[in-house]
Structure 1
Amino acid sequence: MEHRIDKYILERLEELNWFDKTLVDKSEISKGQISKLKKGLVERLTAETFYKIYTAFGDLCSKASKIVYPTLDFKINKYVAPERSDFGQFMLQFEESKNSPEEVATKTGIDDERIKEIYFRRGALEAYELLLIEKAVGKNPGELFEAFFGQKK
């Protein structure tokens, strides 16, 4: 997914009359990484980096995401559970599942294998993926960013 973190950083630095050093200090992202982000040299924008940048600027996730992902389609697909056998129908009474990885994959359009990678292995979660996941599970933009990354401060 193409992002415009470079545009966002450049605009906000100018609006706030900040030097790179202020952003480095507030975001705790290295000077070298900020430089790469500003120049558009970072292909994959991780959710954590996105969170650190928009919170450093004091922005809401919703504001930042409109600039960084202007073409991101937040349309969520409907999840339809696969048809079950008689036994599968019987077992429904014992199941408690909401927002399973399979359901999130279907709703967001993120490939099943990619969902498995970020849920069960060490795949680096990209910012747009978390934005879509938030929408799929009924959270406001930035709510899961804050819940997950905010606790790491």
Structure 2
Amino acid sequence: MVSDRLSDNEGGGGDQRPAALFAYTGKFYEVFPYYLAIGMSYEQFWEQDCDLVKYYRRAAQIKQDLQNQEAWLQGAYFYEALIDAAPILRAFAKKGTKPTPYRESPYELSTRQDKKQQKQLQEKHDDQAKAYMEVFMVSVNKKFQEKGGGVSG
């Protein structure tokens, strides 16, 4: 009589399997909880295509990368908001100091905008930078003129 289980008389108990026939079973049971944790069902792990584990592992890695990217992005928004509010948080800030306004749109993470929209946005930012620089230059020139060392522009 041939059986895949050891008899109680041989000291193996009724539920243990011979090591030679089931050498890899322990490893499967060891990794099984991981695959359950990433969403694989019992039937998928034990009864369906063995290639599914590769796809579940890759999907879990992609999910983790996306979560990491999302956390980084949230930190970037928080950091920018903190920097924007910094002028009013200084101990000796001038009266009437205002924070930099919060950004009008989220960070562009993909290239969904067409070329025309990108060009318009770039021109808008360039105009804002130019206006800021002109205001800065006027204030610097004014300071020099007050000190008597005028700068011509």
* TM-score normalised by the chain length of structure 1: 0.19
Higher RCO structure, 1 or 2 (CA under 8 Å, sep 6+): 1
Query: Which structure's CA Rg is the greater one?
Result: 2
